[in-house]
């Protein structure tokens, strides 16, 4: 059963959605001033997705965002200045000016894996992170996001199948924002709910209103806890809408006006603000105070970013390839005795049984390392059949052997006499 949020949790969700939008509004201004050197990908109208899902994670959990998940980065603890400097390719940015978009992470402190441009590839990567956490005894959950278009890639299916087979503590947020660039979702997926894709892999799924931040949070929180408790990976489809184009260069004229109007009337921040005021958790003064707090923060963060220097020319070749400890030091953090996962305690006989398959044989005639037949009846049947086969082909004593050998000899003699 989903628990009621505390007042602070309600207000946190509101603050981070407002911060998410304000950060992106600031970047639009920087882009128009030609201060952003890379692409700019807006999440306008999707703030509830990033904020609500990331807020469901614990500090020790891991996430890997896509380019529209700036809200998730902010919830995890990334300061706005890092987002600004990253897009401005400044020397003080997380990648020291090596990247002009949001391709950066923090493996040591915030447990953030950098986005991968090849959509879908983060699914097997984060499955691996989830499995590693389980191996180390950390009790973590790994989360990443994918769009409706990305859910049609091969690696989406391969990765999700891998996660399912391994029962990895992994949560996948599938953002159904109606458009894969300019392709409507109905032209690429013959399903009413993308959550149904989970059925092919035998895992649980949810489908939730992506413009309702409380619904996103409570659903994601339930999924995270189920994954943490050993129920395996879970898929959460969030239904929302991408209100701007694929990036700043795309005017999105392919979107019908009626569709845009419908979703703009369901702005997640406006809807949530109305809900909070109805619950007496927010009033006009609080709304104004939060806005002023965010403006003050972003003024300072933007000022810091703009005053950060560009990387020096001689730095161009530095850090392109990781050369070991002088690049970064990442070591496993064990929270269980290492002896548990190393021989001899970890040694397990490579033998599996599958009901009704009989018994296997190795090429040398002995029992195969992997054998089949896990019930007493099947085991007895297999043994009886093998014994009967051996008995049928085994000569009984010298007389029996002589009699068996005499048959072809006698037949040969008879044939020769007939030939005469």
The predicted pLDDT at position 323 comes to 76
Structural domains in the chain? 7-317 (3.40.50.970), 338-416 (no CATH)
Which two structure tokens, joined as six digits, stand for 82? Answer: 């890092």
Burial (CB count within 10 angstroms: exposed 0-12, middle 13-18, buried 19+), residue 49? buried
Burial class (CB in 10 A: 0-12, 13-18, 19+), 251: exposed
Mind listing the pLDDT tens digit for each residue in 189-222?
A: 888 899 999 999 999 999 999 999 999 999 999 9
What share of the chain in percent tops pLDDT 70?
83
Does position 371 have pLDDT exceeding 50, yes or no? no
The pLDDT of residue 341 is 85
Does the pLDDT value for residue 254 go beyond 70?
A: yes
- Per mean pLDDT, which range of 19-33, 51-65, 374-388 is the poorest? 374-388
pLDDT per residue over 66-107, tens digit each?
999 999 999 999 999 999 999 999 999 999 988 888 899 999
Phi, psi of 33 (to 5 degrees): -90, 5
Is this prediction's pTM over 0.85? Answer: no
Strands 179-180 and 183-184: antiparallel
Q: What is the pLDDT of residues 53-73, one digit of tens each?
A: 999 999 999 999 999 999 999
């Amino acid at each position: 059963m989903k628990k009621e949020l505390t007042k602070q949790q309600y207000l946190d969700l509101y603050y981070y959605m407002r911060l998410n939008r304000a950060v992106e509004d600031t970047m639009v201004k920087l882009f128009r001033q030609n201060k952003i050197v890379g692409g700019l990908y807006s999440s306008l109208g999707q703030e509830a997705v990033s904020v609500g899902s990331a807020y469901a994670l614990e500090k020790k959990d891991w996430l890997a965002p896509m380019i529209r998940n700036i809200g998730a980065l902010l919830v995890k603890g990334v300061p706005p200045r890092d987002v600004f400097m990253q897009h401005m390719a400044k020397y003080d940015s997380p990648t020291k000016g090596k990247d002009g978009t949001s391709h950066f992470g923090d493996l040591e402190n915030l447990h953030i894996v950098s986005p991968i441009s090849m959509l879908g590839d983060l699914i097997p990567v984060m499955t691996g992170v989830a499995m590693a956490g389980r191996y180390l005894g950390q009790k973590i959950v790994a989360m990443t996001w994918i769009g409706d278009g990305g859910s049609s890639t091969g690696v989406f299916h391969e990765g999700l199948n891998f996660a399912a087979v391994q029962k990895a503590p992994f949560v996948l947020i599938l953002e159904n924002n109606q458009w894969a660039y300019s392709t409507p979702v109905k032209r690429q997926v013959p399903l009413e709910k993308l959550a149904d894709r989970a059925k092919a892999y035998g895992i649980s799924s949810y489908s939730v209103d992506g413009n309702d931040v409380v619904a996103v949070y409570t659903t994601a929180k339930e999924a995270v806890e189920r994954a943490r408790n050993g129920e395996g990976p879970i898929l959460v489809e969030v239904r929302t809408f991408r209100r701007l184009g694929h990036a700043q260069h795309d005017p999105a004229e392919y979107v019908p006006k009626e569709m845009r109007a419908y979703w703009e009337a369901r702005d997640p921040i406006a809807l949530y603000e109305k809900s909070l005021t109805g619950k007496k958790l927010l009033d006009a003064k609080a709304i104004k105070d939060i806005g002023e707090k965010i403006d003050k923060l972003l003024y300072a963060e933007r000022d810091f970013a703009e005053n950060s220097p560009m990387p020096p020319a001689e730095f161009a070749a530095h850090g392109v390839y990781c050369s070991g400890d002088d690049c970064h030091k990442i070591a496993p953090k064990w929270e269980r005795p290492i002896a548990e996962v190393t021989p001899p305690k970890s040694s397990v006989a490579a033998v599996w049984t599958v009901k009704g398959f009989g018994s296997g044989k190795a090429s040398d005639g002995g029992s195969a390392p992997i054998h089949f037949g896990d019930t007493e009846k099947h085991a007895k049947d297999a043994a009886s059949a093998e014994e009967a086969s051996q008995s049928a082909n085994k000569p009984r004593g010298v007389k029996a052997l002589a009699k068996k050998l005499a048959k072809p000899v006698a037949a040969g003699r008879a044939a020769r006499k007939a030939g005469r």
